[in-house]
Amino acid sequence: MSTIINPFNTTDPILSRTDGSYVVQYNSKPYHVCAKTEDPDNLFDLTEIEAFAKANPTLVSPDTSSYSIDQKASQGLITLAEYQDYAYSQIDAKVQTKLVAGFSYNGQTIPCDTTSQANLTSEITAMVAGIVTYPVIWDLGAGNSLSLTDQASLTAFAQAMKSFIQTTYSKGVTAKATIKAATSASVVQSTYQGF
């Protein structure tokens, strides 16, 4: 067997990729080393790099640049706290998505985005002050609307929206508590992905 010639700077780690190729530093730049069948003009022979990596395992690290955060967490490449922070942000985003998607009321889908919540607060404030004008027409977009004809129908609508909003946020809080109590990445992952 020939002597392994190391034409790259071994003070930087050699990165092994999941596809069996490597990334090495050459002239201060990353260089992808793959099989000659994939790249006939490759500067380095993959078999020599493999032999060098096998003989010097402390100089080889996995190339994690393309790993998802889930892969990084499962392999211990980020801390559990970092993964939990990521999962909290995912729960927050999913709560907002659920609110925007809305809930079903009298056969209509009612979005609960920030604007809808502010509009409802305005209508309830007007109702309490005795200055609301009925019917209140709730625009659902795409030419659809919901007519709230009196105080009872406006109150029922407000209660339904409030209940949906509270339930959605409550589920988010519960998911975050599960994530906070988690002692493993797998629990964090299954909680935020299942939300």
- CA distances from residue 8 to 31, 64, 162 in whole angstroms, order as listed: 10, 20, 63
Strand partners, 60: 14
Largest Cα–Cα distance in the chain?
A: 93
Residue-wise pLDDT tens for the chain (195 aa)? 444 445 565 567 788 888 888 988 877 788 888 876 777 777 788 888 888 888 888 888 888 887 899 999 998 989 999 999 999 999 999 999 999 999 999 999 999 999 999 999 999 999 999 999 999 999 988 888 999 999 999 999 999 999 999 999 999 999 999 999 999 999 999 999 999
Please state, in angstroms and rounded to a whole number, the distance separating the CA atoms of residues 51 and 5: 10
The three-class DSSP label of residue 62 is strand
Q: What is the H or E stretch that residue 126 is in?
A: helix 114-129
Closest by CA to 24, choosing from 55, 2, 1, 45, is: 45
Please state, in angstroms and rounded to a whole number, the distance separating the CA atoms of residues 30 and 151: 69
Quote the pTM value.
0.72
